[in-house]
A and B are shown apart, each in its own frame.
Chain A
Amino acid sequence: GENVEQHPSTLSVQEGDSAVIKCTYSDSASNYFPWYKQELGKRPQLIIDIRSNVGEKKDQRIAVTLNKTAKHFSLHITETQPEDSAVYFCAASSSGGYQKVTFGTGTKLQVIP
């Protein structure tokens, strides 16, 4: 089955700096890679996703890159703000009827004002 590893487990940055979270996956059949943000005690919310036919995707301060050859994908947050503080999960999935998603172990991001 799929195995998703995520690093770092915790990340502290000063407000305004950039934050980068990296993930690797094992199943070459995976072709959909969402990122979720979970604030304390709340449900995970999809913040950005990328498919394997795209190498990079950007949405305002958030960008995701994908290296399918190396089975790496990363989340980049620029100009971080205190409200970006949360736990971020990467995930990997293959298309098809089953649609099972495997989550990474999470990164707790703290943005220091």
Chain B
Amino acid sequence: GAVVSQHPSRVICKSGTSVKIECRSLDFQATTMFWYRQFPKQSLMLMATSNEGSKATYEQGVEKDKFLINHASLTLSTLTVTSAHPEDSSFYICSATEQGSAKNIQYFGAGTRLSVL
């Protein structure tokens, strides 16, 4: 099946620093990738939709200048949490859908646990 790799799996950083998270589709091309945030014991909240070669589409309430998304190729999307603060601590998870697929199957990365001190 399709594999999505997400790196790093865990980040601990100081308040004020920026953190970059990578999401790669390993064996398929992904025109669209999604970034979610998941709080403990809660559902996946869509933050933004990342489209290859164009600007990301952010969900209401998500600061685009805070969470920078770049989708420079059909296999890579990055999420940068700028000037991270303790309230940004969370589990961030990406997913990708296969280009040209009739189904909307989303393949998920393993997630990144961000802890901001």
* Those of A79-105 within 8 Å (CB) of chain B: 89, 93, 95, 98-105
Of B14-22, B69-77, B81-89, B104-112, which binds chain A?
Answer: B104-112
Is the Cβ of A99 less than 8 Å from the Cβ of B104? yes
Is the Cβ of B49 less than 8 Å from the Cβ of A43? no
Q: Taking the nearest CB of chain A, how far is it from the CB of B14, in angstroms?
A: 24
Is the Cβ of B108 less than 8 Å from the Cβ of A89? no
Is the Cβ of B43 less than 8 Å from the Cβ of A43? no
B82-117 interface bits toward A, Cβ cutoff 8 Å, 1 = contact, 0 = none: 000000000001000100001111111111000000
Q: A95 to B102, alpha carbons, bound, how many Å?
A: 8
Is the Cβ of A43 less than 8 Å from the Cβ of B110? yes
Task: Write out the residue numbers on chain A whose beta carbons fall within 8 Å of the beta carbon of B102.
Answer: 95
Is the Cβ of B105 less than 8 Å from the Cβ of A49? yes
B44 within 8 A of A: yes
Q: A46 to B49, alpha carbons, bound, how many Å?
A: 19
Is the Cβ of B104 less than 8 Å from the Cβ of A46? no
Q: What is the interface size of chain A, counting residues whose CB is below 8 A from a CB of the partner? A: 22
Main secondary structure of the interface of A (DSSP, over half): strand
Q: Who on chain B is nearest to A105 by CB? A: B43
Task: Write out the residue numbers on chain B whose beta carbons fall within 8 Å of the beta carbon of A99.
Answer: 32, 97, 104
Q: A34 to B106, alpha carbons, bound, how many Å?
A: 9
Q: A101 to B95, alpha carbons, bound, how many Å?
A: 11
B14-53 interface bits toward A, Cβ cutoff 8 Å, 1 = contact, 0 = none: 0000000000000000001010000001111010010000
Which residues of B are in contact with A by a Cβ distance under 8 Å? 32, 34, 41-44, 46, 49, 93, 97, 102-111
22 of the cross-chain contacts (CB-CB < 8 Å) are: A34-B106, A36-B108, A43-B93, A44-B93, A44-B108, A46-B105, A46-B107, A49-B103, A49-B105, A89-B44, A95-B102, A98-B49, A99-B97, A99-B104, A100-B46, A101-B34, A101-B46, A101-B104, A101-B106, A103-B46, A104-B43, A105-B43
In the A-B complex, list the 5 residue pairs whose CB atoms are closest, starting with the nearest.
Answer: A43-B108, A99-B104, A93-B104, A105-B43, A103-B44
